[in-house]
Amino acid sequence: IAGITQAPTSQILAAGRRMTLRCTQDMRHNAMYWYRQDLGLGLRLIHYSNTAGTTGKGEVPDGYSVSRANTDDFPLTLASAVPSQTSVYFCASSETSGGTDTQYFGPGTRLTVL
């Protein structure tokens, strides 16, 4: 089934631990995105990639890193987790990064940092 998958579905993590959230899409979309969603706030862009091999910083990149080694995968790494990184994380993709291209979202990862 075409779409975006994310793993894990949820995770409880001790502060200071390293964590990688996985995201894979099979739609051959060029652009991919990582957002966090917190209660009362809009989705906030963490990092993005317009095409394989390139990445860029979004609105809230501090404490996070990404890589885009191929078209399908876009992992998000928290090098040393802090409680303020408790959130729901959504990965999204679009055919390109401009025009009318719609972003399609994965099911999300609910992360709790204690």
Partner 1 sequence: GQNIDQPTEMTATEGAIVQINCTYQTSGFNGLFWYQQHAGEAPTFLSYNVLDGLEEKGRFSSFLSRSKGYSYLLLKELQMKDSASYLCAVRDSNYQLIWGAGTKLIIKP
Question: Using CB under 8 A as the criterion, which residues of the chain lie in contact with partner 1 when the complex forms?
Answer: 35, 40-45, 48, 58, 90, 97-98, 100, 102-108
How near is the Cβ of 17 to partner 1 at its closest, in Å?
A: 25
Alpha-carbon gap, residue 114 to 112, rounded angstroms: 6
How near is the Cβ of 46 to partner 1 at its closest, in Å?
A: 12
Whether 50 and 36 have beta carbons less than 8 Å apart is answered as no
Indicate the residue among 48 and 113 with the shorter CB distance to partner 1: 48
Q: Which residues contact 4 (CB under 8 A, 6 or more apart)?
A: 23, 24, 25, 27, 91, 92, 93, 104, 105, 106, 107
How near is the Cβ of 57 to partner 1 at its closest, in Å?
A: 11
Indicate the residue among 12 and 38 with the shorter CB distance to partner 1: 38
Indicate the residue among 14 and 76 with the shorter CB distance to partner 1: 76
Residue with tokens 């990639």: 49
